Amino acid sequence: MRLALKLATGAGKTTVMAMLIAWQTVNAVRRPQGQRFTRGFLIVAPGITIKDRLRVLQPNDPDSYYARQELVPSDMLDDVNRAKIVITNYHAFKLREKIEISKGTRAAIEGWPGEPLKTLETEGQMIQRIMPDLMGIKNILVLNDEAHHCYREKPGTQDKTDFKGEEKKEAEKIMKRLGFGFLALKRLTVSWV
């Protein structure tokens, strides 16, 4: 399931993320057998500046929103502290070289017309590098902040930023349940992995 939310600059996207994390975590901790809630979160930012600003979503941060903005009663802060949160930037998902080889050495090892050397990490290795703390968690909630900066469009598709028909009705119901009015959606995406 994916949900997108668009808010103006300064309207409180980070606070919304903190509320989602707190609600999910408290329910996951208090209902460990439940399947609807999680305490594992991957937060993706478009760059290191926004990534650094999002540190307030870590429960142990000195400026943590959970305590500072009193998002949960003080007796629930211990539950929120059990959240596993990884904050990264979009660029971290680029596959990295496992070993550095100069062009000349690569050409000599590959031969001509040899098979290219496979020196890039696998997707599994990349996931373990980015979010090792989340590896044992079954459901992970992904929050993609400033999502319009962080996506690759599938070839031959168009960017659809507005819901229509049944999609719009479903999004309106979800937003109403969360306590928000319906907005044209794009800024923050939330999805289950």
Domain that holds residue 29: 2-95+138-192
3's tokens: 């949900």
Lowest-confidence region among 43-52, 53-62, 73-82, 113-122: 113-122
Residue 90 lies in a domain: yes
Residue 25 lies in a domain: yes
Confidence of residue 73 (pLDDT cuts 50, 70, 90): very high
122's tokens: 């696998």
Residue 107 lies in a domain: no
Confidence of residue 131 (pLDDT cuts 50, 70, 90): very high
Residue 128 lies in a domain: no
Residue 146 pLDDT > 60, yes or no? yes
Residue 127 lies in a domain: no
Residue 115 lies in a domain: no
Give the pLDDT mean for 81-90: 94
By CB atoms closer than 10 A (0-12, 13-18, 19+), residue 188 is buried
Residue 32 pLDDT > 60, yes or no? yes
Phi, psi of 192 (to 5 degrees): -90, 140
Residue 112 pLDDT > 70, yes or no? no
Q: Please tell me the total count of domains within the chain.
A: 1
Residue 21 lies in a domain: yes
Residue 126 lies in a domain: no
